[in-house]
């Protein structure tokens, strides 16, 4: 177990949904989707979520959302959570302090055209950079008082699939292998699941990212529906225990 200390700077961090899992058989997970929007994948993601009566939480990249305002409007209109994921998808713990704030402000300024700025504000930074960096936490607290980091308990590992696709048939097989493994987890109920809308990385197989993204969320939603489970939005924590401002586990 990793423990990180600060002088009272840590913001709340969510690894799982803050309420207790539903033990009646009607499980819940929160699907969180980074890096979008993209015109060749986001509409399909939204169609699948609507088909399965699910909701997701989107952390959108500024340089992409600025080009696809229609997709932002649709995500908001369909009731999903929408938050800034920075502007250029760089690690914000590796840049000057002012750039951290400017990147987030610039992205949120675009999003604020489509919905009121949420409170508490949910944070996930590109590549999760700054998650255990007290300086970044201080900057974000000053920008959005009451904001909370959204980590995750489970990942679809979708960003690892495309480099291993040799032929189109591999997309379904590899995606199913990853999702079957995820669905077999005994701690999935109440979890926060990380996936990407065509991940912003430089791994091989870029031409397969779009079909992999769609296959992964389709298989995940089908699996949840078959169980009678739902995908729900991430809900902020309530009161932050005082000690968690000093110690992050």
Given its phi and psi angles, is residue 57 left (phi above 0), alpha (psi -120 to 50 degrees) or beta?
Answer: beta
Query: Cα separation of 42 and 29, whole Å?
Result: 20
pTM of the model: 0.96
Given a cut of 90, is residue 205 above it in pLDDT?
A: no
Given a cut of 80, is residue 60 above it in pLDDT?
A: yes
Q: What's the half-sphere exposure (Cβ side, CA atoms, 13 Å) at 11?
A: 31
- Closest listed residue to residue 222, CA positions, set 180, 161, 159, 185: 180
Given its phi and psi angles, is residue 185 left (phi above 0), alpha (psi -120 to 50 degrees) or beta?
Answer: beta
What sign results for the dihedral spanned by CA atoms 73, 79, 83, 89? negative
Q: What is the pLDDT of residue 24?
A: 66
* Rg of the Cα atoms in the chain: 18
Of 10-24, 98-112, 125-139, 230-244, the range with the lowest mean pLDDT is 10-24
Structure tokens at 62: 């500024």
Query: Cα separation of 213 and 206, whole Å?
Result: 11
- Closest listed residue to residue 64, CA positions, set 99, 93, 39, 98: 39
Percentage of the chain exceeding pLDDT 90: 90
Contact status, residue 31 vs residue 194, Cβ threshold 8 Å:
no
The domains found in the chain, sorted by start residue, are 27-235 (3.20.20.370)
What's the pLDDT band for 199 if we cut at 50, 70, 90?
confident
Contact status, residue 215 vs residue 226, Cβ threshold 8 Å:
no
Question: In Å, how far from its chain's centre is CA 93?
Answer: 18
Strand partners, 16: 191
The mean pLDDT of 64-91, rounded to a whole number, is: 95
The mean pLDDT of 192-198, rounded to a whole number, is: 97
């Amino acid at each position: 177990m990793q423990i990180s200390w600060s002088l009272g700077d840590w913001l709340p961090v969510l690894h799982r949904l803050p309420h207790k899992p539903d033990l009646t058989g009607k499980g819940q997970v929160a699907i969180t989707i980074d890096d979008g929007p993209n015109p060749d994948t986001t509409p399909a993601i939204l169609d699948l979520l609507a088909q399965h009566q699910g909701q997701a939480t989107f952390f959108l990249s500024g340089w992409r959302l600025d080009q696809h305002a229609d997709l932002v409007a649709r995500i908001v209109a369909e009731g999903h959570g929408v938050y800034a994921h920075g502007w250029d998808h760089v690690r914000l713990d590796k840049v000057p302090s002012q750039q951290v704030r400017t990147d987030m402000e610039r992205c949120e300024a675009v999003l604020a055209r489509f919905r009121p700025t949420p409170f508490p504000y949910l944070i996930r930074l590109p590549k999760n950079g700054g998650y255990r960096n007290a300086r970044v936490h201080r900057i974000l607290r000053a920008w959005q008082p009451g904001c909370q980091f959204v980590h995750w308990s489970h990942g679809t590992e979708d960003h690892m699939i495309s480099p291993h696709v040799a032929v189109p048939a591999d997309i379904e097989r590899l995606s199913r292998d990853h999702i079957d493994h995820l669905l077999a987890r005994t701690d999935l109920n109440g979890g926060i699941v990380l996936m990407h809308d065509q991940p912003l990385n430089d791994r091989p197989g870029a031409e397969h990212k779009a079909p992999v993204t769609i296959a992964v969320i389709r298989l995940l939603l089908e699996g949840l529906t078959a169980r009678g489970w739902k995908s729900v939005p991430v809900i902020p924590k309530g009161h932050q225990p005082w000690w968690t401002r000093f110690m992050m586990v």
